[in-house]
Structure 1
Amino acid sequence: MSTNTFALSEPEVTADDLLVLDDPHFGPNTVAVVTGAASGIGQTTAVALAANGLSVVGADIDEDGLGETVDLADELDAPGTIHPVLTDLTDDEDVESMIDTAADHGELRYVANIAGMQHIASIPEFPMEKYDLLLDIMLRAPFLTAKLSMPHIRDTDDGVGAIGNMSSVHGHYATQDKPAYITAKHGLNGLTRSIAAEGEGTLRGFSVSVGYVLTPLMVNQIEDTAEERGISKQAVVEDVMLGQARTKEMMTPVEVANLFVFGFSGHGKHLNGGDLLWDGGYTTTYE
């Protein structure tokens, strides 16, 4: 890839990009909850599950973004339905309402805890209000979501279901100036294993760990970093962000969404307490 031809743009999702599987539980009476469904990985995961025929409760604090998620599913002729639910994950009553709404739409079997945020600062400089907010959204809310959804999954006729948690390469190791994010992701991996320990085999817990994903937010971050450091966007991606990775290409949100589809399906029945580490060799190789 030459510097002259390198370009970044928000990835457009097509129907051909989506993993669609034949699964006995993938149908209109099965409900999946997706948090962070208004943009990025959460939005694409909601659409991917709708493409597999599920009824999807898409939860987010961004009402306009949720509308765009519904529109995208319609544009791709997804056979399933997305039910947008305005949800503040820091409000326990909102989380309870989200799960109640999901149960009202059919058999709640799947949950994708994807919502997240980031704040960059060293530990001594980290604002505690930002720490509390980040942990509330990325660790406490997934715990409460699991607490409330597990009884519904167990009440289905066969107790089959799964809770998938969006982890990260930062759930495997630490870098500087992301202490709250790293703490949350390591904790989320512990929650994943706890779900598996209590799930009796049919109710599974799993996590998905990726490196840098080409979301609209990431496109802006790359452009800002290139300007700040006086280097090309290609150098930002390949040297700054993917310097440690072996696969010198950022993932797209739909590639991550497809991992959740696979993990929820019967093909993932032995994925329990484990992590789908799709990081291009980021955490497993070094020079």
Structure 2
Amino acid sequence: MSRDYDFTMAGHPNIYTGEHRDLKVYFSEPDAGVNEDTGVLLFIAGYGGHAGSNVYVKMRKQFADLYNLVCIQCDYFGYEFMQAEVKHESIDNFNDMSIMQSLDNITSVLAVISMLKENNLVFNEKKIICYGQSHGGYLALQCNRFVPDLFSLIIDNSAYIYPVYLKATRCLPSLNLNFNYFVKRIEMDDSLLYLPYLYTDFCNTANIVCFHGINDNMIHHSDKERFCNDIKNCTIYLIKDPTASGGIFSSTEHGLGADFLRLFDWVINNCVVEKDKKYELSRTEFSTKKCGYRFDFSSGLIALEYIL
């Protein structure tokens, strides 16, 4: 059985208030220990999922041993407001659907990598994977843009290219309730949240593998296909007939009714997983019409700075 750990660390400061905050990180390592072939895998859950969900606890444990991976997850900013219930949000903690959530996920990976190195554990630095479902897939793609040379493989199941609930009202049929998120009151930089803008003229080095249903109601498959086709090293699989997937998918709608374990196994056995060289962390800068952004890694973690 895998060895399972969790810890709480100082997370990235709240970019909306400047306040310091804590971040809880979970990770599992193979029972046989970490060796030079051991890769790293970050899970990012979408709406209705979180690090304590049974399916993710199971995947962290199983994947660590089955695929020789250090499996990581975190309680990212505002995740608790993405479940099938309504809680009070405030500027101190809310579902921002983007920047803070990506910063937390990147921080969790870099923190665990730092721990491995501090303990003199050699791992495969060419094999760092990110696996995201729905909103988690969106965050995975945003993370890849913020840290361009970290991930070797991005697995995206049904990601949209812009956070749907920044514009739309969320419906919870189980509670017979419609509501709007606090983030709608915040002036966000749309360009930083719109993946086609982020990926314009971007030299992508990760292998991006996307799965999208032809009846997805959150983003039309043609828009997702257009986005993917404009990116180097990106492949999109449009799911038209789930019965031909060997049990991986059961639907052509959002989420594809996917069996997360089978989907991952198919990708690992059929797609390029490693890079030709070790990951690198180098300062990244880009600008939108509103602001300039710098992602700095000099501390070993990630720090977002604004360029005036």
Q: TM-score, normalised by structure 2?
A: 0.36
Structure ranking higher in helix proportion:
1
Which one has more relative contact order, counting CA pairs under 8 Å at least 6 apart?
1
Greater share of residues in strand: 2
